Amino acid sequence: MTSSPRQVALALAHAENFARDDFLAGSSNEAALALVTRWPDWPDRTVVLVGPEGSGKSHLAAIWAAEAGARFVAARALAYADIPAALATGALVVEDLAERVVDERALFHLLNLAREESAFMLLTAHTPPATWTIAIRDLASRLRALPVVTVAPPDDALLRAVIVKMCADRQLAIDEALVAYLTTRINRSFAAARQAVAWLDHEALRQQRPVTRALASELFRDHPQP
């Protein structure tokens, strides 16, 4: 006796699209989007973009980088010797800046050289630099003086729009009941929405079921925030 083939759920990657047309704007990110789109008319050549994980900072940074020709460097990978090369295009994104993560000497050199060369920089961080404990006093002073633009967690309207878009990107047919349900069950962030949609997609394929509120209710009953 032969058994019927079993559906296997494959963990296929879904690359994020950081194009300007794919950015969903709302009240939580309008100030940050305005800053990025009005470049080079900035209050300072170096600006800090602050927001929680999954709030859209990387997407905003990518939009600006495409316009300004900026390079990217992770804060934890910033090295003193690499600073001149990092500023070669006259524009730089430093991602995930935080105290005790970055080499303070390298960061101070970067800020000084960027000022000397009139380069533009967009620094992203989870918390404002003014709240950090910095050993180099002149660096602490420089960081406190930088303009800060905050990206807040998405409101209900934006979170719903994000869920709809992520489902559309995966070609998932959904209805309003599912979107409303997810909006009240996940953390208020793009990262949580992405994880929830990926989980639904995976389970729908594994169980050979449509993506519905009923499926979501089963999955989230014991795990309200994936």
> Which tens digit of pLDDT belongs to each residue from 11-41?
444 555 666 667 888 888 999 999 999 999 9
Same domain for 88 and 59: yes
Q: What is the CATH number of the domain that holds 132?
A: 3.40.50.300
- pLDDT, tens only, 170-199: 999 999 999 999 999 898 888 899 899 999
Q: Has residue 2 got a pLDDT over 70?
A: no
Q: Has residue 9 got a pLDDT over 70?
A: no
- Residue 33 contacts residue 59 (beta carbons within 8 Å): no
| Three-state DSSP class for residue 47 | strand
- The b-or-e profile of 22-39 (16+ CB within 10 A means b, else e) is ebbebebbeebbebbeeb
Same domain for 69 and 43: yes
The last residue of a domain, from among 93, 119, 150: 150
Q: How far apart are the first and last CA of the chain?
A: 40
Residues with Cβ within 8 Å of 143's Cβ and at least 6 positions away in sequence, in order, are 48, 129, 130, 132, 134
Residue 193 placed within a domain:
yes
Higher-pLDDT residue of 19, 55: 55
Residue 117 placed within a domain:
yes
Side chain identity, residue 188: R
Higher-pLDDT residue of 106, 5: 106
Alpha carbons within 13 A on the beta-carbon side of 224 = 5
Same domain for 110 and 62: yes
Higher-pLDDT residue of 58, 17: 58
Higher-pLDDT residue of 183, 9: 183
- Residue 186 contacts residue 152 (beta carbons within 8 Å): no
Residue 171 and residue 102: Cα distance in Å, rounded?
A: 40
- Angle among Cα 99, 102, 108 to the nearest 5 degrees reads 100
- Residue 122 contacts residue 49 (beta carbons within 8 Å): yes
The average confidence (pLDDT) of the chain is: 88
Residue 72 and residue 55: Cα distance in Å, rounded?
A: 18
The last residue of a domain, from among 150, 178, 212: 150
Any idea what DSSP says for residue 3?
P
Q: Region 49-54: what's the mean pLDDT?
A: 89
pLDDT band for 75, please (50, 70, 90 cuts): very high
Same domain for 175 and 131: no
Same domain for 128 and 36: yes
Question: What's the domain count of the chain?
Answer: 2
pLDDT band for 225, please (50, 70, 90 cuts): low
Please give the structure tokens belonging to residue 225: 């925030």
Same domain for 112 and 165: no
Residue 177 placed within a domain:
yes
The last residue of a domain, from among 104, 129, 150: 150
Q: What is the pLDDT of residue 226?
A: 47
Q: Region 62-75: what's the mean pLDDT?
A: 96
Residues with Cβ within 8 Å of 210's Cβ and at least 6 positions away in sequence, in order, are 173, 204
pLDDT band for 223, please (50, 70, 90 cuts): low
Residue 21 placed within a domain:
no
Residue 204 placed within a domain:
yes
Higher-pLDDT residue of 21, 118: 118
Same domain for 164 and 126: no
Residue 44 placed within a domain:
yes
Residue labelled with tokens 């070669």: 88
Same domain for 123 and 66: yes
Domain coverage including residue 41: 27-150
pTM for the full predicted model: 0.79
Residue 90 placed within a domain:
yes
Residues with Cβ within 8 Å of 146's Cβ and at least 6 positions away in sequence, in order, are 44, 46, 47, 48, 123, 129
